[in-house]
Structure 1
Amino acid sequence: MKPTQKLRELRQSLWLDNISREMLEKGILKRYIDEYSISGLTSNPTIFDHAIAHSHFYDKSIVELSSRGLEGEELFFKLAIDDLQRAADLFLPIHEQTSRKDGWVSLEISPLLAYDAEKTLLEAKRIHEAFQRPNLFIKIPGTKEGLPAIEEAIFEGISINITLLFTPEHYKEAAEAYMRGLERRLSKGLPLDTVFSVASLFVSRWDKATMNIVPDSLKNKLGIAIAKKTYKIYRDLLDSARWNLLAHKKANPQLLLWASTGTKDPQASDILYVKNLIAPDTINTVPEETLLAFADHGQIGEILPRDGGDAENILAQYRQLGIDDQVLGQRLQKEGAEAFINSWKDLLSSLKQKSSLLKTF
């Protein structure tokens, strides 16, 4: 049995952190679904920027849409939605077989709206209505400003991938926003079983941020420790009386998703964050190169301990070195939001350049 199939047996979903029209046209995504048990997909501005700028697969559509007056964000979202609709159709059998718990694709709203809850909600509703598929997660960052929009979107029946979570506290805030949205639906007599969510915890950026300031004995351990601590909180929440009341009313659990799981350290294992983050009822969304590496020489490590294992001990060792995980987590979220904005601007710039270039032919 392939390592990727073993993860499925352990109740962990493996999603691909990539999308391109080339993957769709050449049947690569379909092959990953069939051969490597990929059961979902995430995207972001950087992924689309690379896909559009470094291939000719979008040229015909760009020319056609530009001739109809589409440009900037409007042009991008039309291209992105076309790709993700095709991907969503490939995952639809999985979505139906798992009673909608798996088989999702994710599309991020404009990062320029990250600090405006009202506009974030309006954009989430617009994309949700335009997509016309049942298996779309709208990605909204779990920032202070994003949380009210997340709660309101859940209340209005829009399924959300809460992104840019770094600390266990960020996760708790995301889970609270999800539950508040569900509780408001319950108070209005609205169904709970039609709404879904995942909470995306970013892992590898912790280790990249501390790579050059810790001894070798602690390198590449911080992200996994943060994940273990978060996993304990996740399991505690699912066992809580508050959640059990919602579950009794057929609410769907908000699954914990490991994001940013490509290894950043060239000296470390290229499957570091796959083999060490195996846990039931979670999702690991991996870059394409990490997927291929795990399919080739994957190892199944120990299942994450329900109680967080050695997480607190590892975190204490980092604190002894002067690394405050609370402060660092806030910095990483802020830097992540800024990086998404920069990627968004790069994407729109690339699209403008390509549109102008194609008009000359």
Structure 2
Amino acid sequence: MKMTQKLHELRQSLWLDNISKEMLDKGILKRYIEEFSITGLTSNPTIFDHAIAHSHFYDRSIVELSSQGMEAEELFFELAMDDLRRAADLFRPIHDQTSCRDGWVSLEVSPLLAYDAEKTLFEAKRLYEAFQRPNLYIKIPGTKEGLPAIEEAIFEGIPINVTLLFTPEHYKEAAEAYMRGLERRLAKGLPLDVVSSVASLFVSRWDKATMHVVPENLKNQLGIAIAKKTYKFYRDLLDSDRWNILAQKKANPQLLLWASTGTKDPQASDILYVKNLIAPDTINTMPEETLLAFADHGQIGAILPRDGADADVVLSEFCQHGVDYQALGERLQKEGAEAFVNSWKDLLNSLQQKSSLLKTV
């Protein structure tokens, strides 16, 4: 049995953090589903910027859509949704077989809306309705401004991938928003089993941020410690009386998703965050190179303990070296939102340049 399949045996889903028209046209994604047990994927502006700017696979579509008057964001979303619909159709059998628990693709609202709840909600509804497939998560940042939009989207039945979560406390806030949305549906007599969500905790950026400020023995440990502590919060919530009331009404759990699981330190294992973050009822979405590395020389480490194991001890050690994880987590979330904005602007600029260039050909 392949290592990627073993993760599924341990009730962890394996998703790909990548998509491109080339991957679809050449059958690469289909092969990953068949050979590596990939059951979903995530996308972001950086991924699409790379795919569009560094290939000719989108040229014909850009020419056709531009001739219809599309430009900027409208042009991008049309291109992105075409790719994601094709991917969603590949995952649809998995989606149906798992009763909507797996087989999802994700599309992000404009990062420019990260701090505007009303516009975020409007855009989430628009994109989900336009997509015309059931297995699409709309990605909304778990910022303080994004949380009301997440709650309202869940209440209105829109599947949400809560992104840009860094601390265990960020996760708890996202979970609260999800449950409030479900509880409002319950109060209105609306079905709960048609709503779904994942909460995406970013992992590797912790270690990149502390790489040069902690001693050698603490390098590449903070992200995993944060994940362990968050996993404890996750299991505690699923065991709570509040959740059990919703579960009895057929509510779907908001699955915890490990994001940013590509190793940033060239001296560390290229599967560091895969082998150390194996946990039941979670998802690991990984870059393509990490997937291929795990398929080639993957290792199954110890399953994450339900109680968080040594997470608090490790966090205390970092604190002794001047790392306040709460403050750092807030900084990382802010920087993450800013990075997505920059990627978004780069993406739209790439589209404009390519569109202008193709018109002259």
Under TM normalisation by the shorter chain, which class is it?
Answer: over 0.9
Q: CA RMSD in A?
A: 0.3
Aligned counterparts, 1:125-164, within 5 A: 125-164=125-164
The residue number in structure 2 matching 1:38 is: 38
Superposed CA offset, 1:70-124 (max 9, x none): 0000000000000000000000000000000000000000000111000000000
Alpha-carbon distance in 1 for matches of 2:272, 2:81 = 32
Mapped to 2, the partners of 1:115 and 1:310 lie a distance apart of 35
Matched residue of 2:19: which SS? coil
- Quote the Cα distance in structure 2 between the aligned partners of 1:166 and 1:24: 31
| 1:83-98 alignment runs, 5 A limit | 83-98=83-98
Counterpart amino acid of residue 285 in structure 1: T
Residue 299 (structure 1) shift: 0.0
The answer for the alignment partner of 1:216 in structure 2 is: 216
Partner in structure 2 of residue 191 of structure 1: 191
Task: Report what 2:118 is aligned to.
Answer: 118
The DSSP-based 3-state class of the residue aligned with 1:338 is helix
Counting only pairs closer than 5 Å after superposition, residues 197-346 of structure 1 correspond to structure 2 as: 197-346=197-346
Distance (Å, rounded) in 2 between the aligned partners of 1:28 and 1:118: 38
Structure 2 gap ranges (5+) = none
Equivalent AA in structure 1 for residue 19 of structure 2: I
Instruction: Tell me by how many angstroms 1:325 deviates.
Output: 0.2
Q: Which amino acid aligns with 1:33?
A: I
What displacement does 1:3 show? 0.5
- State TM-score, norm by structure 1: 1.00
Number of residue pairs aligned between Structure 1 and Structure 2: 361
Shift of 1:156: 0.2
Residues 276-332 of structure 1: CA distance to partner in whole angstroms, max 9, x if unpaired?
000000000000000000000000000001000000000000000010000000000
Query: What displacement does 1:227 show?
Result: 0.1
Q: What amino acid maps onto 2:213 in structure 1? A: I
The equivalent of 1:20 in structure 2 is 20
Q: Secondary structure at the match of 2:223?
A: helix
1:216 CA drift (Å): 0.8
1:6 Cα deviation from its structure 2 partner: 0.2
Distance in 2 of aligned mates of 1:134 and 1:231: 28
How big is the shift at 1:135? Answer: 0.1
SS at match of 1:356: helix
- Partner-residue secondary structure (3-state), 2:345: helix
SS at match of 2:313: helix
Cα separation, 1, equivalents of 2:131 and 2:264: 34
Report the alpha carbon displacement of residue 139 of structure 1 after superposing the two structures with TM. Answer: 0.1
Provide the C-alpha distance between the structure 1 equivalents of 2:113 and 2:228, rounded to a whole number of angstroms. 31
- 2:162 is aligned with what amino acid? I
User: Structure 1 CA distance, aligned partners of 2:8 and 2:177?
Assistant: 28
Question: What residue identity is the alignment partner of 1:106?
Answer: S
3-state SS of paired residue (1:139): strand
Look up the SS of the partner of 2:61 in the other structure: helix
Distance 1:87 1:248 in 2: 32
Please state whether the residue corresponding to 2:47 is helix, strand or coil.
helix
CA distance in 1, matches of 2:61, 2:291: 29
What residue identity is the alignment partner of 1:10? Answer: L
Q: CA deviation at 1:218?
A: 0.3
Q: TM-score, normalised by structure 2?
A: 1.00
Runs of 4+ in 1 over 3 A off after TM superposition: none
SS at structure 1 position matched to 2:301:
coil
Counterpart residue number, 2:76: 76
- Per the TM alignment, residue 261 of structure 1 is displaced from its structure 2 partner at its CA by 0.2
- 1:226 deviates by 0.1
Shift of 1:54: 0.4
Please tell me the residue identity of whatever aligns with 2:37.
Answer: S
Partners of 1:91 and 1:157 lie apart in 2 by 21
- By how many angstroms is 1:236 displaced? 0.2
Output one character per residue of 1:214-240: Cα deviation in whole Å (capped at 9) or x when no partner. Answer: 111000000000000000000000000
Residue 188 of structure 1: how far off its partner (Å): 0.3
The amino acid that maps onto 1:72 is A
For residue 51 of structure 2, what is the aligned residue in structure 1?
Answer: 51
Q: Secondary structure at the match of 1:107?
A: strand
Q: 1:276, 1:182 → 2: CA distance?
A: 32
Residue by residue over 1:41-92, the C-alpha shift from the partner in whole angstroms, topping out at 9 and shown as x without a partner, is 0000000000000000000000000000000000000000000000000000
Q: How many Å apart are 1:212 and its aligned residue?
A: 0.7
Q: How big is the shift at 1:164?
A: 0.1
Q: Secondary structure at the match of 2:15?
A: strand
User: Runs of 5+ in structure 1 lacking a partner?
Assistant: none
Q: 1:179 corresponds to which residue?
A: 179
Q: Percent identity?
A: 84
